[in-house]
Structure 1
Amino acid sequence: MHLITEKIEPLKKRIKMLEKKGELPKIELLLNELKEIIIQENMERKLCGMTSICVQCGIEGKSCCGSNIEFKYSDELLLINLLYGVEIPEEPKFSDMCLFLTDSGCLLFARDAFCINFICDKIKDKLSPEKLKKLRELEGLHLKLQFQLEQRLKRFSDVYYL
């Protein structure tokens, strides 16, 4: 079993505690706003060809999603993904790659800033400045909302778990 998966059961219990304490409705609007931005961002990635480039690199074992990237993920960011219904695998699909990398790209819905911001030269060469600008604007909104949500979740954990 992967070290990250050891965090998952306690995080699922944390979700149940947040539900029990009535805290989840307090973040529902933020979760929905973040979801809409991520959907737009992912659509933009697909339209500009970025997603297919990333998937192909992953299949070829050349992905920037190297081993241990998953350890950049905070409990709150993993919690956000669980709230969106993401299933975390017990083992990586590809050896020496990030736990979250699959045949179709990253399985996470909300990702770490490093993963969002990294654009390799292969992708940079393919994107027009206009497409890159649009993508960066969406990524900025994504990171802003995600940070706000992570901070709210940290406050909830301070109240209930310290």
Structure 2
Amino acid sequence: MLKNLKLIKKLDPDPTALMKEKIKVAEELFEHWNDYFYKDSKFLKLLKRYENAVLLSNQMMSNLETFNECYICSVIDKKGCCKAGIEAEVTVNILLLNLFLKKDVPKEREIPLKCFFVGPIGCKIFARPFICRDYFCRRLLNKLTQEKYALVTQVLNEELTLLYEITRYIRKQLEFLLGEFLLELDIVGYCWE
């Protein structure tokens, strides 16, 4: 039934291969269980609250031009924090959340030596891990007043709290449906024997 869902005993050191494996697992879980989740009113409320929180955060960061500053740093200055390997923080659960939100999940790395999810104008996934949303480097902090930083932090805090709640809820529901062996949902690229 869930052919790609298995305990990952030894992970390929190639971050692209690991991400492709996570995407397969998320797609398979979505294919088999999306009807179950879409009938769950508690899940749907959490999903909508989370989506709205991300949209609000994105609007705030756009208004404060933090996205533009990250673009300049990453694309023009060829620096930035979205380097290859950071995508390991994107768990199966976060990929699954993107699928529940009906958001595209890239299948290939577009820019060499950058995060699997970075495109020419920024991040290509909607639901992102904590590290990708709490990213205020010195460069950004120098551009924001304390008041603006406090405001964006407050908005992001709501989004990240809801991210925790909804990914925890998804995990608990899948553990109920499939058993408590689903440690892979939260795997970020580390292995254990």
TM-score (norm 2): 0.77
* Residue equivalent to 1:7: 22
Gaps of 5+ in 2: 1-15, 180-193
Map 1:106-145; keep pairs closer than 5 Å: 106-145=123-162
* Residue equivalent to 1:41: 57
Backbone CA RMSD of aligned residues: 1.6
C-alpha distance in 2, partners of 1:89/1:23? 23
The number of residue pairs the alignment matches comes to 161
Map 1:59-78; keep pairs closer than 5 Å: 59-60=75-76, 61-78=78-95
* Residue equivalent to 1:18: 33
Q: Tell me which moved more, 40-49 or 55-64.
A: 55-64
Is the 2:106–2:124 contact (alpha carbons within 8 Å) kept by the matching residues of 1? no
What is the Cα deviation at residue 94 of structure 1? 1.7
Gaps of 5+ in 1: none
Spell out, residue by residue over 1:52-101, the C-alpha distance to the aligned partner (whole angstroms, 9 max, x if none): 01112221321111111111122111111122233232332221111011
Alignment match of 1:153 (pick from 170, 178, 182): 170
1:84 equivalenced with 2:101 (yes/no): yes
Q: Tell me the SS of whatever aligns to 1:122.
A: helix
Between Structure 1 and Structure 2, which shows a larger proportion of helix residues? 1
* Residue equivalent to 2:187: none
What is the Cα deviation at residue 121 of structure 1? 1.3
What is the Cα deviation at residue 141 of structure 1? 0.4
Spell out, residue by residue over 1:111-136, the C-alpha distance to the aligned partner (whole angstroms, 9 max, x if none): 11111112111111111111111110
* Residue equivalent to 2:44: 28
C-alpha distance in 1, partners of 2:93/2:140? 29
Amino acid at match of 1:96: L
* Residue equivalent to 1:58: 74
- Percent identity for Structure 1 against Structure 2: 22
Amino acid at match of 2:92: D
C-alpha distance in 1, partners of 2:142/2:52? 28
TM-score (norm 1): 0.91
C-alpha distance in 2, partners of 1:104/1:28? 30
Larger Rg: 2
C-alpha distance in 1, partners of 2:37/2:105? 23
Q: Tell me the SS of whatever aligns to 2:155.
A: helix
C-alpha distance in 2, partners of 1:62/1:70? 16
